[in-house]
Amino acid sequence: MSLTAERLDRVSPSQTIAISSKARALKAAGRDIISLSAGEPDFDTPVNIKAAAIRAIEAGETKYTDVAGTLALRQAVAAKFKRDSNLDYTPSEVMISTGGKQVIFNAMVATLNAGDEVIIPSPCWVSYPDIVALADGAPVIVPCSQNSGFKLRPEDLEAAITPKTKWLMLNSPSNPSGAAYTAAELRALAEVLLRHPHVWVMTDDIYEKLVYDDFEFTTIAQVEPGLKARTLTVNGCSKAYAMTGWRIGFCGGPASLIKAMDKLQSQSTSNTSSISQAAAVEALNGPQEFLREMTAVYRERRDLVVSMLNTAPGINCHKPEGAFYVFPAIHGCIGKTSRSGIAITDDESFVTALLDEEGVAAVHGSAFMYPGHFRVSYATDTESLRKACERIKHFCDGLK
């Protein structure tokens, strides 16, 4: 008899974490490795946020909090939703969890029954399908072409909806493509959803603050208030405030859904770290100038990476609207052989050979349910990015 539960057979370990771990091991062994695999800002947490955490420790704010989060943080989240998206949530409609991943996990486990379908546009974050599968749901992957900016089209959403559909998962800006939906694009999707009142919407807006040029971020319940009663708006502090290790995710949604998620969390992790919550209050309520400075740097890096990768033979790199990733196509590289004799049969063999031969770690597109591509994170210093892109070009130049 196997010790492990059958449900674990439905999922795989995070492939982005696996690539990052391999890159760290090679670096520890003395290899010159540039890792472009992690979805983590290279900026430090702003000083005012760290100072707020220290003050909380010194003030003895080290006890349990309400499972759903401190009132101060839930009020700060509600104020943030109102300020940024004109969404009205009361503290009872807000929940704090240990990262955005736990918010999504709570929502799926609390609502899905066996066989319930969840529509997931791809390319998608690696954890979405596995979280749905762990919750006994059925992921319905809908590929979104680079020709449509890696974004879900209304007709494809309509075709994917069945009587068993429980949720649509949206992620804008997207991991891994960086694609972000305009208000008009969200309106077109909302018109489909209004015709199917049994479908709920989970919108993952974790990269909301990281948009470039003249792009204006909007979220679907803001565009169509008629969907708010069946929308879970997910966000967090990890990406915008460089707080990945602090583990603060949050959401706004109908009180009945939040209550169910609170019930689940009360029997799993209980409350998020009280110190991290105090820091998050300062992140949301405090000065926001850091965001403008950070996004300006990311925009320059994006432009550098896109321009350099598009000089590599066999690669076609789309210019994204947001996040800190690009998701180049490598169709022109597949079917060739590397300098050391490795056959490039697919995107996974491409990134494996790239790491072995050039010391550049990236993540293959199949991990994001979208083969024929690979993900590059430009959340690292500019000089390393430049060197990495030169190595990628050198690798592609050598394919025969």
- At residue 2, the pLDDT reads 79
Q: What is the pLDDT of residue 11?
A: 82
Q: Please tell me the distance from the alpha carbon of residue 100 to that of residue 235, in angstroms, as a whole number.
A: 6
- Here the CATH number for the domain that contains residue 209 is 3.40.640.10
pLDDT of residue 23: 83
For residue 332, which amino acid is it? Answer: G
pLDDT in tens, 80-97: 999 999 999 999 999 999
Whether residues 278 and 310 fall in one domain: no
Phi/psi at 274 (5° precision)? -65, -35
Which residues partner with 363 through β-bridges? 375
Please, are residues 137 and 118 in contact by the beta-carbon 8 Å criterion?
yes
| Residue where a domain terminates, one of 218, 252, 285 | 285
Last residue in a domain, options 241, 258, 285: 285
- The answer to whether residue 98 is domain-embedded is yes
131 φ, ψ (degrees, to nearest 5): -60, -45
pLDDT digits (tens, 9 = 90+) for 25-52: 888 999 999 999 888 999 999 999 999 9
For residue 15, the model assigns a pLDDT of: 73
Residue 18, pLDDT > 80, answer no
Taking only the tens place, the pLDDT of each residue in 222-232 is 999 999 999 99
Please identify, among 257, 285, 313, the residue that sits at the C-terminal boundary of a domain: 285
Cα(40)–Cα(238) distance, integer angstroms: 8
With beta carbons less than 8 A apart as the criterion, state whether 360 and 333 touch.
Answer: no
Sign (positive or negative) of CA dihedral 79, 84, 86, 88: negative
pLDDT at residue 38, rounded to an integer: 83
Structure tokens at 305: 């990476």
What domain count does the chain have?
Answer: 2
Is 0.85 topped by the overall pTM?
Answer: yes
Please give the order of strands across the beta sheet that includes 325-326. 325-326, 374-377, 363-364
| Percentages of the chain per state (helix, strand, coil), in multiples of 5 | 45, 15, 40
Using the predicted structure, report yes or no on whether residue 330 has a pLDDT greater than 80. Answer: yes
Going by pLDDT thresholds of 50, 70 and 90, the confidence category of residue 66 is very high
Q: Dump the DSSP string for 200-242.
A: EEEEE-TTTT-B-TT-----HHHH-GGGGGGEEEEEESTTTTT
133-190 pLDDT tens trace: 999 999 999 999 999 999 999 999 999 999 999 999 999 999 999 999 999 999 999 9
Whether residues 299 and 320 share a domain: the answer is yes
User: Is residue 50 domain-resident?
Assistant: no
pLDDT of residue 227: 98
| DSSP H or E run through 48 | helix 47-58
Rounded to 5 degrees, φ, ψ at 148 are -105, 20
**What contacts 7, CB < 8 A, 6 or more positions away?**
133, 134, 136
Helix/strand/coil for 16: helix
In the predicted model, is pLDDT for residue 19 greater than 80? no
User: How confident is the model at residue 110, as a pLDDT?
Assistant: 98
% of the chain surpassing 70 pLDDT = 100
99: DSSP letter: S
pLDDT digits (tens, 9 = 90+) for 256-307: 999 999 999 999 999 999 999 999 999 999 999 999 999 999 999 999 999 9
pLDDT band at 21 (very low <50, low <70, confident <90, very high): confident
pLDDT at 302: 98
Residues 303 and 280 in one domain: no
In a shared domain, residues 367 and 337:
yes
Residue 27: predicted pLDDT: 86
Mean pLDDT on 235-253: 98
Same domain, 258 and 160: yes
Task: Look up tokens 């771990």; give the residue.
Answer: 21
| 361 and 274 within one domain | no
Range of the domain at 362: 6-44+290-397
Burial class (CB in 10 A: 0-12, 13-18, 19+), 231: buried
Q: Which residue has the tokens 């969890």?
A: 97
The model's pLDDT over 105-131, given as tens digits with 9 standing for 90+, comes to 999 999 999 999 999 999 999 999 999
Regarding whether 130 and 36 lie in a shared domain, the answer is: no
